[in-house]
């Protein structure tokens, strides 16, 4: 079994293996090129297409961005990400349609064992290496994730959800909820009483 295959079945893997470093290097190099380009440069969207696992026709990343793998992330239609998006997509990340991220959002679909002797092992070459394991992140349709939010691996965020600023999302959030906090928790359903229609020009 390859190190990448181990990731996808939630087994311990060696992130510094050459196999995984080569995949990540492609994404890291692409992010570097993306971040150096002007925001009106049409090549930016092509760079994203070249590294991402899948994405809809309409999307915008303000930048700077940092994907760990890129190829493990799948994004729907009409996506927007503000400044400083970090995507640790060791495990696969699935993002639905009409999703918006505020500044400084981090998707962290990987972690390390807590026990030191499991986190630091000796590989077949006799070298000490750090281990990881990873779990997927699923984000539904019509979701707004506000600024400075961190979403951890294993989390499912439902449709029509709003995650408040500064939250750390460690557990699933059901459809149609406003959720916030550290740890993030569902606070209440979003209802018509939240309408801001009166702010539209008539």
The two structure tokens encoding residue 55: 């994405």
Burial class (CB in 10 A: 0-12, 13-18, 19+), 142: middle
Closest CA to 19 of 31, 6, 29: 6
- Rounded CA gap, 108 and 111, in Å? 8
* Chain segment 31-48, per-residue pLDDT in tens: 999 999 999 999 999 999
CA distance 26 to 69: 8
Q: In sequence order, what are the residues at sequence separation of 6 or more whose Cβ sits closer than 8 angstroms to the Cβ of residue 90?
A: 7, 13, 15, 68, 69, 72, 109, 110, 132, 134
Closest CA relative to residue 87, chosen from 63, 111, 70: 70
pLDDT at 150: 98
Question: Which stretches of the chain score pLDDT less than 50?
Answer: none
- In this prediction, residue 125 carries a pLDDT of 86
Cα 26 to the chain's mean position, in Å?
17
Give the pLDDT score at 167. 98
Active site residue 112: yes
pLDDT of residue 202: 78
Report d(CA 73, CA 142) in Å as an integer.
Answer: 18
- DSSP calls for 55-113: --S-EEE-S-EEESSSTTEEE-SSEEE-S-EEEE-SS-EEE-SS-EE-TT-EEE--B--
Contact 74, 53 (CB under 8 A): yes
Which 3 state secondary structure label does DSSP give 185? Answer: strand
Please report, rounded to a whole number, the percentage of residues in the chain having pLDDT higher than 90.
97
> How many Å apart are CA 15 and CA 23, to the nearest integer?
11
Find the catalytic residue in 25, 28, 112, 138.
112
Cα 79 from chain centre:
13
Say how far apart CA 135 and CA 54 lie, in whole Å. Answer: 19
Write down the pLDDT at residue 201: 86
């Amino acid at each position: 079994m390859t190190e990448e295959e181990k990731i996808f079945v939630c087994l311990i893997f060696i992130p510094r293996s050459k196999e995984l470093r080569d995949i990540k290097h492609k994404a890291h190099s692409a992010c570097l090129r993306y971040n150096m380009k002007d925001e009106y440069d049409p090549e930016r969207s092509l760079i994203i297409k070249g590294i991402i696992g899948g994405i809809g026709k309409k999307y915008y990343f303000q930048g700077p961005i940092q994907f760990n793998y890129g190829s493990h992330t799948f994004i729907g239609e009409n996506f927007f990400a503000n400044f400083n998006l970090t995507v640790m997509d060791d495990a696969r990340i699935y993002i639905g349609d009409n999703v918006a991220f505020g500044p400084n959002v981090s998707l962290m679909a990987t972690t390390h064992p807590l026990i030191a002797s499991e986190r630091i092992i000796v590989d077949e070459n006799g070298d000490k290496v750090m281990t990881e394991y990873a779990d997927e992140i699923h984000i539904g349709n019509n979701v707004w994730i506000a600024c400075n939010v961190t979403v951890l691996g294993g989390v499912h965020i439902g449709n029509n959800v709003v995650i408040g600023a500064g939250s750390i999302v460690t557990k699933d959030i059901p459809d149609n909820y406003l959720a916030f906090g550290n740890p993030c928790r569902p606070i209440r359903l979003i209802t018509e009483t939240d309408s801001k229609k009166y702010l539209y020009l008539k």
